[in-house]
Structure formats: C-alpha cells, structure tokens
Structure 1
C-alpha cells in the first residue's frame, strides 16, 4: 500500500514539475513580448519615460507577489537599508539600460549581452560572497565572454551605446541577484521588488524631467504592453517556481533567444550571420553550464534574464522551491 502511495505521490510531483516547466516557458515568452514592445516604439518615447511608465504598470504584480502576512509598507521596509538602497539603484540602472538596449540593438544582440548575467553572478559571488568557484564555472565564464567577443567583433563592427547599456543591464541584474543571496530569507520578496520599482520610478522620473513626450494612443498600447506583460511574466514565473524545482525553471529562459530571433526576422528586419549565431550559442552554452554546475554544488541559481529586471525575484527560496537550488 505504501508503495502505491509513493508511486502516486511521485507521479503527482512529476505532473506538477511538467506544468511548472510549461508555465516557465510561458513566462519567458511573455517577457520576450514585453521586450519586443520596447523595440516596436522605435525610440519615439524617451527611454527614461518608457522605464518610468513600465515601473508604474509593474505595480500590477504586487497583489500577486504579496503574501498574507506582508503589509503594504513592507515594500519600503528592510532589514538592511544599505543593501535595499543598492538594489534600488540597480533596479533603476537595469530597467533604464535594458530599455535603451532593446531600443538601439537587434533583440537577439541585446539578449546575447544580457545573457552574460550568470557569468557576472559567478564573478561577483567570488568577490563579495567568497564562494569557492572551480575550473568548470570559470570555463563557463570564459566561454561567455568569448561568445560576446564573437558577437560584437570589436574593431570589425561599430559598437554603440546600446551594447554598453545591455552589458550594464546584465551587470546590474547580477548585482541584484548577489544582494538576494547575501540577504537570504531575512528579506521579504515584496521589499526587494519594491526597491526595484521605486528605484526605477525615482531615477527615471528625475531624468525624464528634461524630456517628456506625450505618447500617442498607439504608443500607450505598447507602453502598457511592456509594463503589464513584464508584471505578468513575474507572476507566471513565481507560480512556475511553486510547481517545479528552480533547476527546472531556470533553463527555459534561453528560449527567449528564439523569440528574439523570430521577432527580429518578422517585425524588425534583423538578420544574424554565422559568426553571431556561433557567439550566441557559446553564450547560451556558458549559461547552461553555469546552471548545471551551480545545481550540482547546491549554489542558488541565477534567476531569470529579461528586459524586466524584476524577474530576478520570481524564483527565490521564499517561493517554496527547493531550498538549496533556487
């Protein structure tokens, strides 16, 4: 009888994990549509203003991220104010830089640089968290940066502010993840989410004072799409983390590159040559290798990569994912 019960529980867990993975794929697709909404605007609305409006719509996710025991004021409360303020700054930097990157670059190229996030997390974890990183993860880091060099081909292609902003956006998201690791369960998810939102509102709101545009009705549709789909992606990813271990939820994030290629080809007339395709594959392999090594060693996994940098909170240990494998 106990064997039958165990088999039934195992089958139920398997079905839940499968649903979690499918929901994760849906979440990353939603993030890709959110990022495409930025690109469709073609820079007609200033980047600071896009980030500001996106953050306003981002509050739509708060009721779903808020737990019963959380108070609304917990969005600005913290157990470590310096760390909260650092995430405040990183949230603003990541949001603004990702908007600029998707405005200036082909989507696949922007994602290629944002996908350096796992490599940045590894480096920062060694420096600030004193993690023991062995040769396999350093190999993944090196492969990631080689992939970026192949994609960018400095000296052979003109680099722009979009490339710089994509790299800075990935670095800002990586710093946010390291902050999450450092704080652990001491900090509520709603507090960290609030830091990113309020940081984006404050910084982008100040910067956009010098240039504010009145969006057209069509532009408002895409601005709302950017913000609301980003919020929906966070909610979906949080639910995916409830259904499946995070080591299954994290890898589907690389499906965003497929969406980026499809959108680039169908909507933006982007093209990818063979060297760029090879570099993208190197970056993706680097990220997957990092995920595999961190899962094996019980290190918290890097969270989602998306233009919406708040995605990094969706698979925290607070969500009930397996404790050693966020």
Structure 2
C-alpha cells in the first residue's frame, strides 16, 4: 500500500469513527427524551430496570469482536464493580433529573463532570493540575451557573439531582482512569447494566405500574438505544482515536434543545446558549490538555465506558 493510500484509509477510518460517535450520542439523547416522557407515569426504578435489561442485548454483541464470553470477565473486579455502581447511581440521578428539568438544562449541569474531574484528580489521584486546567474548570463552572441562573427561587430538586449525577459521573471517570486499558469494554458495560438491574430490582415491586404494549415498546426502544450507543462508542474508538471522538458528546446539547422544543414545549432563554458556549469551550480545552499530557480520555461524561490512551 502506498503512503497516499494508507493516509486515505486512515482518513476514511476517522470519518467512520466520527459518524459512529454522532449516531451514538443521538441514541443517548433520544433515549433520554423517551425516559423523560415515561417519567410522568413510571418510577425511575422501573424505567431503569427495563432499560438495563434491553440495553444488555447490544452489549452482548460486543463480545463478537472481543473474545467471546471471556470478554465479560473483569481482571480488576473491585474497580470494575465500583465503576458500575457509580455509573448506575449517576444514571438514576440523571434520569430522575430529566423528569424534573428541561433536557438542555440537565445536560448543561451534567457536563460539569469533566470540570469536577480536574479537582478530583488532584484530590484523589494526587495528579498535578496546572493553572490552565484550573482556569478552564472555573470557566466551565461559571457557564453552568449562567445556564441555571441560580437566583435560588428557581432552583429545585432537579438541579440538585443533576449536580449529584455530575459528581457521581466525575467519580466514575476517576475510577475509569484507575482501570485504564486493562479491561474490555464488554466487561465494564456488563457490570454497569447489571448494577442497574440489581440496584433497581428491589424497588420495582413497590413502584410497579403495568405498562401498555406501546409503553413497553418505547421503554424497550430506549434501552436498545442506550445499549447501541454504548456499543457504538466502542466501534467509534476502533475507527478513530478517542480524542477525536470525545468532543462529539456535546452534540447532546443540540439534541436536548430540539427534543425539548418539539416534545415538551421548552423554549430556552438566550442566556442558556452563553452558558453552553462556556461549558463546551471549557470541556474542549480540558480535553486538549489531557491529550497533551497523554492521559486517558473517557467518553461522554460517564456515558461512554470506553477508555483509550490519548495521543498527540
């Protein structure tokens, strides 16, 4: 193969990776919109339990390229289980928050997770965090404040739950850094969804509402979308470096605004876009600094379970 042909093949692979990423984050946002619709009738425990069962279907398909059933067996059980518990808890908090907030507002707070990782990396991992990343984290925090307009009269349970979900997501990302590239994506994802099943199963009987076939179909669709999104991120990072794929997580904000307007009648205030620009800019700069420092890049603010070693 000539140099030109090799370069063309690499470029085509990156384009495919980006395409997978865009589709994956669209899957996540569509699933979130379905969850918000379902939250008016079902508890978050019943929703999460149903979603997790159906999300496992595409996750199982990952083993086709990762060594069969052995790909589900973690090497570092303690860290993988901790990661699964944190992600399951964060998902429950985020999905409950979506039921109380506009999707765009929820995403704005959740995307504070990478900024929280900056502080937690210094506190828990003893990493040296330079002034540039501290400054980026501060800008992102200001962006979140701009979006939620904290006059204390409008702040409610949804904002608190979203903030806790962001914190839990950040702790999950820290755990994922400790795991590094020693585990298969299939094993990490399996534990995440099994954790959701185990955590929610005891609560389902007390809150169970019999769904119609249409409602069950929508919940199943949301679960499949979540599972396909997670599995798709694995495919995306096989085609393109994680540092190329990761910025497309912010397309969820666009989907949040669109679904909010079309399905829920939300009309975002202009100030939301100012705060969003600050948050996205902060996240992209932090991602760039992580790349320069050759740290593990984690996708999707705890959405993606795919760790990949960043390269220049």
**TM class by smaller structure:** over 0.9
Q: In structure 2, the residue corresponding to 1:265 is in which secondary structure?
A: helix
- Is 1:99 matched up with 2:91? no
Distance 1:207 1:73, change over 3 A: farther
The question of whether the paired residues in 2 share the 8 Å contact of 1:111 and 1:257 is answered with yes
Distance 1:23 1:10, change over 3 A: same
The question of whether the paired residues in 2 share the 8 Å contact of 1:291 and 1:302 is answered with no
What is aligned with 1:287? 283
For residues 1-326 of structure 1, the aligned pairs below 5 Å read: 5-66=2-63, 70=67, 72=69, 75=72, 77-305=73-301, 309=302, 311-313=303-305, 315-317=306-308, 323-325=309-311
Q: In structure 2, the residue corresponding to 1:186 is in which secondary structure?
A: coil
Q: What is the deviation of 1:55?
A: 0.7
The question of whether the paired residues in 2 share the 8 Å contact of 1:54 and 1:226 is answered with yes
Segments of 5+ residues of structure 2 without an aligned counterpart are none
Output the CA distance in 1 between the equivalents of 2:126 and 2:64: 32
Aligned alpha-carbon RMSD (Å) = 2.0
Q: 202-211 or 103-112: which moved more? A: 202-211
> 1:62-109 CA deviation, whole Å, 9 max, x = no partner?
22322566463764x443343233223212201211210111110100
Q: What is the deviation of 1:300?
A: 1.5
Segments of 5+ residues of structure 1 without an aligned counterpart are 318-322
What is aligned with 1:320? none
Q: What is the deviation of 1:116?
A: 0.9
User: Structure 1-normalised TM-score?
Assistant: 0.89
The question of whether the paired residues in 2 share the 8 Å contact of 1:38 and 1:99 is answered with yes
User: Structure 2-normalised TM-score?
Assistant: 0.93
Q: In structure 2, the residue corresponding to 1:159 is in which secondary structure?
A: coil
The question of whether the paired residues in 1 share the 8 Å contact of 2:241 and 2:310 is answered with no
Output the CA distance in 1 between the equivalents of 2:163 and 2:260: 20
The question of whether the paired residues in 2 share the 8 Å contact of 1:173 and 1:312 is answered with no
Distance 1:242 1:79, change over 3 A: closer
> 1:133-154 CA deviation, whole Å, 9 max, x = no partner?
1111111111111111112222
Q: What is the deviation of 1:118?
A: 0.9
Q: What count of residue pairs does the alignment treat as equivalent?
A: 312
Output the CA distance in 1 between the equivalents of 2:65 and 2:39: 41
Q: In structure 1, the residue corresponding to 2:2 is in which secondary structure?
A: helix
Q: In structure 2, the residue corresponding to 1:301 is in which secondary structure?
A: strand
